[in-house]
Amino acid sequence: MMTLIRRELLDNLMTFRFAAATFITLLLVVANTFVLITDYERRLASHNEAVKMHQRQLQEKITYSAGEVRVDRPPNPLSIFNVGFDKRLGNEVRISHRVVPSLWDAGMHGSDNPFMDMFASMDIVFIFEVILSLFALIFAYNAFAGEYESGTLRLVLTHPIGRGKILVAKYMSAMLCLIVPLLISLLLAIILLTTSTAISLNSDDFLRIGGIILTSVAYLSVFYLIGLLISAATRRTSTALMLSMFVWGFWVLVYPNVILTVIPRLESPEALRASAFNRIENIWETFDRERKHYLATDDFPGEDWGYDLRGWGSRGANLMGNSQRLLYTYRSVMNFEGFGEKDEPKMPHAQKHFGFLGALTIDAADRTWLIRKPALEEIFIQPADMERIWLKLSPVGLYDAATQAWAGTDLLGVRDFFHAARQYRQSVINYFYDNKVFESRQWFSGDKGAADWSGLPQFVFQRDDINTNAKRALPDVCLLLMINVVLFIVIFLIFVKTEV
């Protein structure tokens, strides 16, 4: 057995294709890692700038009602491996008691030249997707067909070795050869990563990279086995080669690009959207009635929500909705710098009103989210997930999905941020309640001391730990492994039945 492996290994290592494979993979990975690191550093810088700017803008606001807390999503350093949704989806979101924030309310900062988006960006996983599959097939096409043609297969089989062992030896040695360029190039990429000062990888990140390597090996093995299958089934090198190349062209080049245009795109369910929006509108109409009812029945004459305050500053309020995003909210902002003397007696009434309004708004926003969340899920997420399943019919799609999950740049990974943003909103609201911010004078006026933003809880976004990544990646990795096993068994059966 070991002799067999050694023979095969030497055969493979001394070939031109091995040298070429190693060289090209190294070249591409290193060149692209440079580009990707620069890009990441630029995004990180723009993130830091945005954080600072949002801090500054917040500090400038003298009233709580005018202040807008914004939180920013930092770029994921592992997006260098698989960029996924990291660059595409919104990276800043407004935290307010009026709306429960979600992916659909996010904005974007830091894209300087939108024209440059015309050029596709490549991550390391994309390089592997294309290159490794090609090499695996080039290594495999003549594994049986070649030996069959040259007659060495007959020679080998005269020895008292089981056919299974020969197969295993071939597989092991070829895989060992194929893993070499993969590992060396990844190692170089990691070294490059660690030299960059902007990128700090923790131990979890290294485990995630380990997961990516594992998935890459499984992916490589699938394509090697496909090549082996073709080689064992066709028995002629030239046919095996041609078939392998077209299989590669189809699975790597054509299928992932064409499939989504071929399957009918699900129209988003308009009826569902309409009914959900209707219910949300109802919530806010009730809200508005209760608000007006309070103004009419409180012990202050008049129904003006601003309590006829005449001061220096601005005020504005409106109910607004967006049926596309199922968004609805009531926004009232009052930003006064000072008041006339007549206004003082009105103050306690106004303060009480804003206290009431704050609680009412939070309640309406929370109830809206209960309707909005499942509706968004059904309208946006489910069709997209269906399309992803179609993509996963190709090993390329599986590999892409699994590595995205490991890197945390998949949809779930990005949505984690918005989950954290929602939790942060809750803690901001708690802070507001604890400090009686809604009832405070600073809610609408800065004349007796400006709003104090320094006590606000800090937002920190920690990517989920490795367990979550593993949990999300495992189904796809398992599928890849299963394909491996099935292919291996089929090849074994064909090989055992082959007459030499």
Binders of another protein among residues 244 to 263 (CB under 8 A) are: 245-246, 249-250, 253-254, 257-258, 260-262
Distances (CA, A) of 306 to 111, 282, 295, 296, 330: 40, 24, 10, 13, 15
189 is a contact residue toward another protein (CB under 8 A): no
Binders of another protein among residues 260 to 279 (CB under 8 A) are: 260-262
Binders of another protein among residues 139 to 178 (CB under 8 A) are: 142
Residue 30 CB contacts under 8 Å (≥ 6 apart), including other chains: 185, 188, 189, 192
Which of 66, 78, 99, 106 is the binder for another protein (CB under 8 A)?
106
243 is a contact residue toward another protein (CB under 8 A): yes
Which of 57, 152, 194, 238 is the binder for another protein (CB under 8 A)?
238
Q: Give the nearest distance from C-beta 464 to another protein in angstroms.
A: 19
391 is a contact residue toward another protein (CB under 8 A): yes
Binders of another protein among residues 117 to 136 (CB under 8 A) are: 117-122, 127, 130-131, 134
Among candidate residues 473, 466, 380, the one with its CA nearest the CA of residue 418: 380
Is-contact 226 219, C-beta < 8 A?
A: no
The DSSP symbol for 16 reads: H
Q: Give the span between the Cα atoms of 31 and 124, in whole angstroms.
A: 10
Scanning 108-202, the segments in alpha helix (DSSP H) are 124-140, 145-150, 152-158, 163-195
Binders of another protein among residues 11 to 30 (CB under 8 A) are: 16-17, 20, 24, 27-28
Q: Give the nearest distance from C-beta 12 to another protein in angstroms.
A: 13
Q: Give the nearest distance from C-beta 305 to another protein in angstroms.
A: 27
Q: Give the nearest distance from C-beta 398 to another protein in angstroms.
A: 13
Q: Give the span between the Cα atoms of 328 and 318, in whole angstroms.
A: 11
Which of 7, 325, 346, 419 is the binder for another protein (CB under 8 A)?
325
Q: How many residues bind another protein (CB under 8 A)?
A: 65
Distances (CA, A) of 19 to 12, 13, 173: 10, 8, 16
Is-contact 171 224, C-beta < 8 A?
A: yes
The tokens 């909705």 sit on which residue?
321
Distances (CA, A) of 358 to 260, 330, 489: 46, 11, 65
Sign (positive or negative) of CA dihedral 163, 164, 166, 171? positive
Residues contributing to the site for another protein (CB under 8 A): 16-17, 20, 24, 27-28, 31-32, 34-35, 38-39, 85, 88-90, 103-104, 106-108, 111-122, 127, 130-131, 134, 138, 142, 237-239, 241-243, 245-246, 249-250, 253-254, 257-258, 260-262, 325, 380-381, 383-384, 387-388, 391, 411
